Chain A
Amino acid sequence: MPNLKGIFQGKQKFVTVKAGTVREEAPDGLWTKCGKCGGILYKKELTLNLGLCGDCGFHFRLSARERIAITLDENSLVEYDEELLTVDPLGFPGYNIKVEAAKQATGLDEAIITGKGSIDGYPVLAGFMDFSFVGASMGSVVGEKVARLFERAARQRVPVIIFCASGGARMQEGMFSLMQMAKTAASCARLSGTRTLYISVLTNPTTAGVFASFGSLGDIIIAEPGALVGFTGQRVIEETIRQKLPPGFQTAEFALEHGLIDMIVDRRNMRKTLGSLLSLHGGRRQDAG
């Protein structure tokens, strides 16, 4: 019997994000501009506000660490596969330097953090992609971490939630990169066969190879408001059809209207929504946390 207690009471249990856990976006500026309404925002306040514009609710991009802090129960994350490191299988000019620079800039080893944690006490295996790491493109390490996450979930019968964000494949890894689509999709299909829940959350932007693999394979697909969600890049489409694209093309709202996703969830309600979904899929709270 699933524990349904409290799921409709809507008590929000957001974790407070400590200022120290959050990376400074640009060390030179304390202020930033909203990408939608153009309002000037105090960065610290933005961080405390889950990365939302106080005026218009625009969802700023979050780093993986920031996302973890506002999604999982405090200190619940045990990371998986941190030891996997990117190599340069094709000897692609400039690739090592690019990866090194991304490591320096983000403090991450790759574009995804995976691990086991909990949301509102419900155990989950979760993945958090970080767009600031080479556009969260999917190379061998991202693909391997995702595949292992699905495989672990299949063994443990624990639901998976992946916060997707990606510009697509990591072209510097050539075919190794393309095949990560097949690898992650295959392991996702196996998970599905064990009747274990997988929720994919599409954040801004989720495109190309990630959208066309595990991003689209969730039992439930959620998107954040305004997130760019699509397969082909807009520039390529414009060049092909030789027309300007309509406003709102490939947004989360567009995807919802065309029946491609289940719902759009505001970041302020994300934790609650995920908690409800986990509960309704028979999740059992470890410790009421």
Chain B
Amino acid sequence: MINLGLEFEKPLIELEKRIEDLKEFGLKKGIDLSNEIAILEKKADTLRKEIFENLTPWQRIMIARHPKRPTALEYINLIFDEFIEFRGDRAFRDDGAIVGGIAGLGGRPVTVIGTQKGRDTKENIARNFGMPHPEGYRKALRLMKQAEKFRRPIVSFVDVVGAYPGVEAEERGQGLAIAHNIAEMAKLATSIIVVITGEGGSGGALAVGVGDKLIMLENAYFSVISPEGCAAILWKDGSRAQEAAEMLKLTAPDLKAQGFIDEMLHEPQGAAHKDGVAMARVIREAITRGIDELSGIPPRRLIERRYARLRRTGEFAVREIPASDLPMAAAGNEDMPITPDLPDLEGGCDET
């Protein structure tokens, strides 16, 4: 989308333009129009509130995909005191769609990971429009294991439409890379804070999105499938994505209500791209709070908590079975502890 104003913002943008014009006109002619301007600004405020407090899921997706929405590197540079980028998966190549490295946050070292979109066409080509290949996920995992080794917290910024759907990505095991990232993140012995800043595109986002604290910007979304994909499957018509977006319950408020995220961060007036600096400040506070909160928890306990959190997800019913029909194997199920012996962190475990 080239048009940087979104469709639903049009009345607001027109009004803002009128205010600008008026200001300019007053300045040029030396007329005091401050009363008129004040009235219009008040009107614009009301309109802005009205629009942004009643965003539909589809409108939020449009905001999440806005070409001016701050990228991971922009947030990283605004949030952290210093950031040193590390590159490569040590096996195949460096994937520009994922960035990572070490950074300082209030004097504390953290490992930072981010899915990275480009700002312009040239950068987008270099970054593959922010769609990672397996080597990108493997780079992320390498850096996360490094964080575990040096016992520093991990902050993962997620804004990815999905893992790259390409031939080479499949040849190099996209599915395996994602599976391994998820499995490893689930048992990493250091704290992980996930910040979903824009798009949370299915497995490609989950592969860098498992953590102890999930923070989501107000207009970000996280979904099992893109609304376009969902509409294509349901109605063979990708243009009905707006309807699908409603049905998938993928917005931050929805996911907060469903219990998937811990914290939803409000965006500045007119969404994050209107004031990246203010947004970064809010994110920084949330990350700092998160790290403080998690820093006192011993790694083993952290892993237990993370596991319990993942283990809880899912909604199902249980059919009543008359006690007399209970098979022997099922009889003791309810009494069994949910978690098995905690596996040794190094992968070994004494046999009983």
Interface residues of chain A, those whose CB is within 8 Å of chain B, are 78-87, 89-90, 92-93, 115-116, 140-141, 143-144, 147, 151-152, 154-155, 157, 169, 171, 173-183, 185-195, 207-209, 211-217, 230-233, 236-237, 240-241, 245-246, 249-250, 254, 258-260
Contacts and interface: CB of A to CB of B under 8 A. Distances in A.
A195 B341 CA distance: 12
Interface residues on B, range: 35 or more
A232 B307 CA distance: 27
**Interface-central residue, B170, B186, B222, by most chain A CB under 10 Å:** B170
Contacts, number: 233
B279 interface: no
B224 A182 contact: no
B310 A230 contact: no
Contacts of B260: 175, 179
B262 to A, nearest CB: 14
Contact of B182 (A92, A155, A157, A185): A185
Contacts of B315: 87, 89, 140, 173, 176
Instruction: List 4 tightest A-B contacts by C-beta distance, closest first.
Output: A193-B343, A140-B314, A186-B186, A154-B340
Nearest to A195: B349
Contact of B167 (A183, A193, A233, A241): A241
Interface string B307-340: 1001101111111110000011110010011111
Contacts of B327: 78-79
Contacts of B333: 80-81
B121 interface: no
B224 A171 contact: yes
Contacts of B270: none
Contacts of A237: 165-167, 170
A258 B172 contact: yes
A174 B179 contact: no
B245 to A, nearest CB: 11
B316 A84 contact: yes
Interface of B: 163-167, 169-176, 178-180, 182-184, 186-187, 202-203, 206-207, 210, 222-225, 229-230, 233, 247-250, 255, 258, 260, 306-307, 310-311, 313-321, 327-330, 333, 336-344, 347-349, 351-352
**Interface-central residue, A155, A176, A185, by most chain B CB under 10 Å:** A185
Given A90-B248, A212-B203, A179 B314 contact: yes
8 contacts: A86-B317, A92-B247, A144-B314, A175-B250, A181-B179, A190-B307, A194-B343, A213-B179
B187 A189 contact: yes
Contact of B202 (A178, A187, A217, A240): A178
B182 A213 contact: yes
A212 B343 CA distance: 23
A181 B310 CA distance: 9
Contacts of B182: 181-182, 185-186, 212-213
Contacts of B206: 178-179, 181-182
Given A175-B250, A181-B203, A185-B179, A232 B169 contact: yes
Contact of A217 (B167, B183, B249, B348): B183
B344 A171 contact: no
B351 A231 contact: no
Contact of A175 (B203, B255, B306, B339): B255
A191 B340 CA distance: 8
A114 B122 CA distance: 50
A241 B171 CA distance: 15
B319 to A, nearest CB: 4
A236 B318 contact: no
Contacts of B233: 171
Contacts of A190: 187, 307, 339-340, 343
Given A140-B314, A178-B206, 12 more contacts: A79-B327, A81-B330, A89-B315, A174-B249, A180-B314, A181-B179, A189-B184, A194-B343, A195-B349, A230-B174, A232-B174, A249-B167
A83 B318 contact: yes
Contacts of B224: 169, 171, 173-175, 177-178, 209
A116 B343 CA distance: 23
A159 to B, nearest CB: 14
Contact of B348 (A188, A195, A233): A195
Given A182-B182, A212-B178, A258-B173, A240 B210 contact: no
Contacts of B169: 231-232
A231 B174 contact: yes
A175 B258 contact: yes
A116 B180 CA distance: 26
A93 to B, nearest CB: 7
Contacts of A211: 175, 179
A81 B260 CA distance: 25
A241 to B, nearest CB: 6
Contact of B341 (A115, A152, A154, A241): A154
Nearest to B176: A216
A195 B313 contact: no
Nearest to B255: A175
Given A175-B224, A193-B344, A212-B178, A186 B311 contact: yes
Contacts of B318: 83-85
A105 B229 CA distance: 26
Given A80-B330, A186-B186, A151 B170 contact: no
B166 A183 contact: no
Nearest to A179: B313
A143 B278 CA distance: 40
Nearest to B238: A239
